[in-house]
Amino acid sequence: MTKINLMEKLSSFSDHWSPKVIAEMNDYQFKLVKIKGDFIWHNHADTDEVFIVIEGSMCIEFEDRTIELSEGEMYVVPKGVNHKPYAQEECKIMLVEPRNVVNTGDKEDDLTASNDIWV
């Protein structure tokens, strides 16, 4: 057990849309991810998903509206709800969700990332 410095962890990778695990709490994982551009529409049938913006700003598009998140803001996407994250400029975020959640949810895509990649 060592403490985890979010900025240090973020500086250790540069790829986009590829979540890196930094911590586990019970059967939940904390992941850092850098995003830029458009993700795909998807949902997670079995779990809510938390977004926390560490640096930059991003949007989450829903079927009926779009929310914008800036540094220091968080959002809980409810399970089963279709959403599409995007960011015009690179944005650094933390995700909190159960272990084994696939980033593209119900969709298989080029953007589907490997799970359990730790930094």
Q: Which is nearer to a copy of itself, 94 or 104 (CB)?
A: 94
Q: Which is nearer to a copy of itself, 3 or 14 (CB)?
A: 3
CA dihedral 46→106→65→87, nearest 10 degrees, is 110
Among 62, 111, 69, 115, CA closest to 92: 69
Q: Which is nearer to a copy of itself, 62 or 108 (CB)?
A: 62
Q: Which is nearer to a copy of itself, 67 or 113 (CB)?
A: 67
Q: Report residue 28 as tokens.
A: 């939940």
Q: CA-to-CA distance for 96 and 41, rounded, in angstroms?
A: 19
DSSP-assigned beta bridge partners for residue 82 = none
Nearest distance from C-beta of residue 64 to a copy of itself, angstroms: 11
Nearest distance from C-beta of residue 113 to a copy of itself, angstroms: 20
Nearest distance from C-beta of residue 11 to a copy of itself, angstroms: 12
Q: Measure the N-to-C terminal CA separation of the chain; round to a whole number of Å.
A: 14
Question: Rule CB under 8 A: which residues touch a copy of itself?
Answer: 1, 3-7, 22-26, 28, 30, 47-50, 54, 67-69, 72-76, 78-79, 96-98
